[in-house]
């Protein structure tokens, strides 16, 4: 039996890069950011829980990727459709297609009444609605940055109740409005279930082996859930097929890091985007304990090699 001796994700020594005390207002939590480079800035679209206990998406910006400043106010959010009011908006995942940034987020009426909402922007100043949120009981939408076989494609996670097991699925759309052709992601031809629950973490990154996907896997303990991150490679043309995945956790809450353990929900690391850098590294801004935002970096090829060391045998 071989055990890991190396940390593949290196956490920034001055973590967290964002926490509630750094906000220009009083708030409860800052977490789970969508993250992307736009022009000469790193943009975080964070979940911010204001004192009315509502999660609202709020932007923070940085020139160097380490020092972030939150905007004075949240972005002006496109009005929800009257047939689908939303209370909370959270866990945004940003996908660049051409000069547009398309954002899939959790559009929430209540904890178990969640849909995938879709909005877009060209400048992170003004936002436009693409679709009202789709079918009830779905979350963790992550849009692929290219069409696959002529269709938009997303990872999503249909679920029933918060306490039910659920896994990662792939759905397709001709126009980002109508979604279907849904199927679970499979490994060796069998629906893949890594942990009690799993779902898309980052927006998939195109690599020569296929699509590199960082996903979350949830373990249960006697009194709660633990959210940790692993990675897999999805087939380029059929992303419902996993070509290989990491056996070990890559990013996980560690006991010595208070910012990953204390807050709204301790023992949670959660990601929405991963940013490839020109030097072959990847920056991951991750939600920690549903309260803070940490930064971890890894080497892209090392993660791909770890996935492909545990290949599909179909």
CA atoms within 13 A on the CB side of 81: 13
Q: Which of residues 11-40 bind ligand BMA (CB under 6 A)?
A: 32
CB of 139 to ligand BMA, least distance (A): 7
Q: Which of residues 64-93 bind ligand BMA (CB under 6 A)?
A: 90-91
Q: Which of residues 219-238 bind ligand BMA (CB under 6 A)?
A: 227
Tokens representing 94 are 């940003």
Contact call for residue 167 and ligand BMA (CB under 6 A): no
Which of 23, 214, 290, 295 is the binder for ligand BMA (CB under 6 A)?
Answer: 290
CB of 32 to ligand BMA, least distance (A): 5
Task: Give 157 or 241: the residue with its C-beta nearer to ligand BMA.
Answer: 157
Backbone angles phi and psi of 258, in degrees to 5: -55, -40
DSSP letter assigned to residue 306: H
Alpha-carbon dihedral 161, 166, 172, 177, rounded to 10 degrees: 20
CB of 265 to ligand BMA, least distance (A): 4
Alpha-carbon dihedral 42, 47, 52, 54, rounded to 10 degrees: 140
CB of 287 to ligand BMA, least distance (A): 6
Task: Give 229 or 300: the residue with its C-beta nearer to ligand BMA.
Answer: 229
Task: Give 207 or 265: the residue with its C-beta nearer to ligand BMA.
Answer: 265
Task: Give 268 or 298: the residue with its C-beta nearer to ligand BMA.
Answer: 268
Q: Is the dihedral of CA 131, 133, 135, 140 positive or negative?
A: positive
Which stretch, 17-25, 57-65, 171-179, 264-272, contacts ligand BMA (CB under 6 A)?
Answer: 264-272
Helix ranges (H only) for the chain are 258-261, 300-308
Task: Give 105 or 192: the residue with its C-beta nearer to ligand BMA.
Answer: 105
Please give the sequence-ordered ranges of beta strands (E in DSSP) within 144-209, or none if there are none: 152-158, 169-173, 180-184, 186-187, 190-191, 197-200, 205-207
Neighbours of 204 (CB within 10 A): 27
For residue 190, give Cα distances in angstroms to 67, 170, 183, 306: 44, 14, 11, 21
How many angstroms from the chain centroid is the CA of residue 105? 9
Which stretch, 125-133, 203-211, 262-270, 274-282, contacts ligand BMA (CB under 6 A)?
Answer: 262-270
CA distance 206 to 146: 9
Contact call for residue 270 and ligand BMA (CB under 6 A): yes
Which of 287, 295, 303, 307 is the binder for ligand BMA (CB under 6 A)?
Answer: 287
CA distance 280 to 76: 35
What is the number of the residue whose Cβ is closest to ligand BMA?
265
Which of 78, 265, 276, 299 is the binder for ligand BMA (CB under 6 A)?
Answer: 265
Task: Give 187 or 270: the residue with its C-beta nearer to ligand BMA.
Answer: 270
Q: Which of 224, 230, 234, 300 is closest to 269 using CA atoms?
A: 230
Q: Which of residues 36-65 bind ligand BMA (CB under 6 A)?
A: none
CA distance 151 to 163: 32
Contact call for residue 268 and ligand BMA (CB under 6 A): yes
Please give the residue ranges that form the binding site for ligand BMA (CB under 6 A): 32, 90-91, 227, 265, 268, 270, 287, 290
């Amino acid at each position: 039996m071989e055990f890991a001796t190396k940390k593949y994700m290196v956490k920034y020594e001055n973590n967290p890069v964002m926490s509630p005390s750094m906000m220009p207002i009083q708030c409860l939590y800052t977490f789970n950011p969508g993250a992307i480079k736009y022009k000469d800035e790193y943009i975080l679209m964070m979940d911010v829980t204001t004192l009315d206990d509502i999660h609202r998406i709020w932007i923070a910006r940085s020139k160097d990727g380490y020092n972030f400043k939150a905007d004075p106010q949240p972005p002006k959010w496109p009005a929800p459709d009257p047939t689908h009011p939303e209370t909370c908006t959270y866990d945004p995942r940003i996908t660049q297609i051409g000069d547009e940034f398309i954002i899939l987020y959790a559009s929430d009426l209540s904890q178990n009444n969640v849909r995938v909402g879709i909005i877009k922007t060209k400048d992170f100043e003004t936002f436009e609605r693409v679709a009202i949120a789709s079918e009830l009981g779905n979350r963790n939408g992550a849009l692929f940055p290219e069409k696959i076989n002529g269709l938009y494609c997303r990872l999503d996670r249909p679920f029933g109740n918060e306490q039910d097991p659920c896994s990662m699925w792939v759905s397709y759309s001709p126009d980002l409005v109508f979604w279907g052709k849904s199927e679970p992601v499979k490994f060796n031809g069998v629906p893949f279930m890594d942990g009690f629950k799993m779902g898309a973490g980052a927006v998939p990154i195109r690599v020569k082996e296929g699509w590199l996907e960082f996903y979350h896997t949830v373990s249960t303990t006697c009194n709660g859930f633990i959210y940790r991150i692993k990675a897999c490679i999805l087939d380029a043309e059929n992303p419902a097929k996993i070509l290989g995945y990491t056996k070990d956790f890559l990013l996980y809450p560690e006991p010595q890091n208070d910012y990953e353990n204390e807050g709204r929900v301790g023992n949670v690391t959660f990601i929405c985007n991963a940013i490839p850098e020109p030097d072959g590294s990847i920056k991951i801004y991750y939600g920690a304990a549903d309260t803070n935002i940490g930064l971890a970096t890894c080497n892209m090829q090392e993660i791909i090699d770890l996935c492909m060391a545990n290949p599909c045998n179909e």
